[in-house]
Amino acid sequence: MADRTLFQKIMDGELEGDIVYEDGSCAVLRDINPQAPTHLLVVPRKPIPSLDALTEEDEPLVGHLFVVARKIAAEAGLTGGYRTVFNNGEDANQTVDHIHLHVLGGRALGWPPG
């Protein structure tokens, strides 16, 4: 069995993390290195290493992550807008091999983002 990811350990209560929402499919954590006043991570309980590892069976789960992102953005008061981002791979600065959807807001976000 592969090593469990940092996110799995946080969701299982083995490591400390600021969980702001949980359901049977995912959890939402505050990012430990926020890039905006609000920076949340929507993390599926299923440990999918990257977007490249997604399969058709993951489609409902990924859709659920976006529905949760909308819900938590509203709860966080991000009425002026917010950005959702998946980083995929080393060049995109993916630092944990477990997909997670970033929700960033609370200030004007520039473009291009990189």
pLDDT in tens, the chain (114 residues): 458 999 999 999 999 999 999 999 999 999 999 999 999 999 999 999 999 999 999 999 999 999 999 999 999 999 999 999 999 999 999 999 999 999 999 999 999 886
Residue positions annotated with a catalytic role: 100
CB 80 within 8 A of CB 10: no
Q: What strands lie across the sheet with 101-105, from one edge to the other?
A: 19-22, 26-30, 38-44, 101-105, 82-86
CATH architecture of 6-105: 2-Layer Sandwich (3.30)
Whose structure tokens read 């209560």?
13
pTM (2 decimals)?
A: 0.95
Per-domain boundaries in the chain: 6-105
